[in-house]
Structure 1
């Protein structure tokens, strides 16, 4: 006899299937939920890019490309939450993690030859060059806007763009407003002087190379030579300023820096002027390569400017140290051929009378002069030094070559 669907063991199979299906869906949903929304998950910390980074900014409807430099060991500072930290300490009894200090920041304005719109040419010379050569000296965020062709940094819209670039990067990287610095060279120095006058309470210190307030494209400004430098000096107050100029500069004459030095001195300001003997317009390579410059910047804070004493320091930097006259018997010990670590001939030392010459692998001959009994320099002003090394018996074994970036040993051919 056939039974109906409502009797016997027939209904047990679909009931069990339904229960298994329900459990499978529930488990799958729980797995997806746990994967999509993990409980007490810790977000992966974002790694900050460092080095030279591309940036853009829009000012008055125009987009400008520029660069910002972030030091390799940069740690992003967080906004000050002192009150929150105190509450946290009271609640949990722990000292909490100290926040990273706000980093110092520099606004750098390039020269006339680096103008453009690609956003990168301004990173080739001056301070950006030193960021590559000596990153260990410059623990700063550096903002490098670019002035377009047919414009000058002294144009009001260019000054606005430069400040907007600085403000944008200062906000993004939580830069220290107490350690905000201004630098510029040549045309960029013209712009730096304008920003120094227009925003005198923004800068903890200022460094300007090969520039002034009498623009080469506005010769009529020289008619105000009796009043214009003093006008800038009055706005600056005690803001510390370091000026650099080449004594042989015919593009922006040294008198420009001299006039500003005297004007700031008359106003009891805080100013240094270094005159480089023998250097022409490009004194900025030497200036930004001064190891003291980044230390000098960091020694100043905006909050301390009003307490700075008056200072007017002017120093003449010789092209090279005074040369010693060595006996020819000593000079003769240096004569010979010198090879690098690959046994390639790289230098030949020759003597002519009391003069010593070095011929390099390309055949170029240059005089070298004695700074000491064993160390020689190039009279061109190069930072390279050649130190002759000796063995225990006093025989010359090689030349230790040192420049601003590296050193190597040239062995004397026996």
Structure 2
């Protein structure tokens, strides 16, 4: 009996020894190294305030580390009316979160993104309290720097940001607000205080730097709101910038958060070293640059087919009268204008897109380089059409 048991034990040991090696063990044996778990990017979070639970998001830069105890700058971002809800994620679709996705290298911040309830407004006391609670929770857990804590919001979130600026003026190193104000669309009676209310906010905010953005044709939040607030802050000796985008309506935030200078400007300010002197700047920014008038011969010089690196025709340029046009490979036609003899833009398209013209030693265009805020493409010219004055068939 004992002999049989010993034989069974030996057989089991042998079978275990011949068992397939687990995949993870095989990978390790081949030199693969297991990556340590790292919490970065957009993270789902929740918080309990009073008797209610709220879902929200926090963004951690890829370089963030839990174990190095480095202090990171923090932005509290308040979204607009259309992103209210309870799922905790809609607020990551536009504005600052979108800018972070486009250019994460520009935004070395912890970004706290609470979500306003669907039937509430950011100016409600409990919503503001919830927003501040999320900021406190994430600042503590993820090593936020109290001296580099910033406030930002757009549209409805701009309303809320102004309230937090007024209630906690010493909390912020700087603030950036797009398409916001203090005369709430759902409380039109506040306009009756237009002669006094801006000064009250300016007095409360003091010297904390503010950068305001507004579309000149905004028909949702009137640009007059920011004009009044700018004047009040300037009169009170505050530090304020107002950029008004010509040709833009309510959505000025895509352009505003896409300004490469904005994150750098925020980081220039620390709560402990505020500059006391007054500063006021108002800038009107055109949607497109003035166009340069080119001769028919210059326009004909651009005419031709341009191909990508695979040899596929991407665009064809042609002249009609005194205008230059582009036809893409889908058959869509768009007008082109000249910012300079070697830089083209779309007068009816994106304000950020530019087409640089490469020339040969004789000054003839040989390639086009399209650049926008996110990428670059180069198209080589292969031939000129026989009739540049007419649209290609």
Q: Is the 8 A contact 2:79 2:115 kept in 1?
A: yes
SS of alignment partner, residue 144 of structure 2: coil
Cα drift, residue 256 of structure 1? 0.5
Is 1:364 equivalent to 2:354 in the alignment? no
SS of alignment partner, residue 234 of structure 1: helix
1:16-69 Cα deviation digits (max 9, x unpaired): xxxxxxxxxxxxxxxxxxxxxxxxxxxx99643111011000111111111100
SS of alignment partner, residue 294 of structure 2: coil
Is 1:278 equivalent to 2:247 in the alignment? yes
SS of alignment partner, residue 188 of structure 1: helix
Which residues of 2 match residues 208-227 of structure 1 at below 5 A?
208-227=177-196
Match of 1:327 in 2: 295
1:90-109 Cα deviation digits (max 9, x unpaired): xxxxxxxxxx5410000000
Distance 1:108 1:412 in 2: 46
Which residues of 2 match residues 356-395 of structure 1 at below 5 A?
356-380=324-348, 381-395=350-364
Is 1:51 equivalent to 2:41 in the alignment? yes
Match of 1:9 in 2: none
Match of 2:390 in 1: none
Number of residue equivalences: 349
- Tell me the TM-score normalised to structure 2 length: 0.86
Q: CA RMSD in A?
A: 1.6
Pick the aligned partner of 2:221 from 244, 248, 252.
252
Q: Is the 8 A contact 1:374 1:388 kept in 2?
A: yes
Distance 2:241 2:44 in 1: 34
Distance 1:385 1:288 in 2: 19
- Structure whose CA Rg is larger: 1
Higher strand share: 2
- Tell me the TM-score normalised to structure 1 length: 0.82
Cα drift, residue 77 of structure 1? 6.8
Pick the aligned partner of 2:88 from 115, 119, 137.
119
Distance 2:35 2:205 in 1: 43
Cα drift, residue 223 of structure 1? 0.8
Structure 1 portions without partners, runs of 5+: 1-43, 79-99
Q: Is the 8 A contact 1:77 1:103 kept in 2?
A: no
Which residues of 2 match residues 344-359 of structure 1 at below 5 A?
344-359=312-327
Distance 1:304 1:379 in 2: 43
User: Structure 1 residues 136 and 213 mapped into 2: Cα distance closer, same or farther (>3 Å)?
Assistant: same
Of residues 390-399 and 285-294 in structure 1, the stretch that sits farther from structure 2 once superposed is: 390-399
Pick the aligned partner of 2:284 from 301, 309, 316.
316
Of residues 210-219 and 329-338 in structure 1, the stretch that sits farther from structure 2 once superposed is: 329-338
Distance 1:406 1:261 in 2: 35
Match of 2:306 in 1: 338
Of residues 336-345 and 231-240 in structure 1, the stretch that sits farther from structure 2 once superposed is: 336-345
Cα drift, residue 354 of structure 1? 1.7
Cα drift, residue 390 of structure 1? 2.1
Q: Is the 8 A contact 2:155 2:179 kept in 1?
A: yes
Cα drift, residue 350 of structure 1? 1.4
Distance 1:102 1:68 in 2: 16
Pick the aligned partner of 2:51 from 31, 37, 61.
61
1:150-203 Cα deviation digits (max 9, x unpaired): 111001110011000000000001110000000000000000000000111100
Which residues of 2 match residues 3-402 of structure 1 at below 5 A?
47-76=37-66, 101-305=70-274, 307-380=275-348, 381-402=350-371
User: Structure 1 residues 46 and 60 mapped into 2: Cα distance closer, same or farther (>3 Å)?
Assistant: farther
Distance 1:303 1:382 in 2: 38
1:269-297 Cα deviation digits (max 9, x unpaired): 11110011111110000000111100110
Q: Is the 8 A contact 1:77 1:102 kept in 2?
A: no
Structure 2 portions without partners, runs of 5+: 1-33, 384-393
Q: Is the 8 A contact 2:70 2:143 kept in 1?
A: no
Cα drift, residue 333 of structure 1? 1.3
Of residues 228-237 and 334-343 in structure 1, the stretch that sits farther from structure 2 once superposed is: 334-343
Q: Is the 8 A contact 2:80 2:155 kept in 1?
A: yes
Distance 1:395 1:266 in 2: 55
SS of alignment partner, residue 394 of structure 1: coil
SS of alignment partner, residue 330 of structure 2: coil
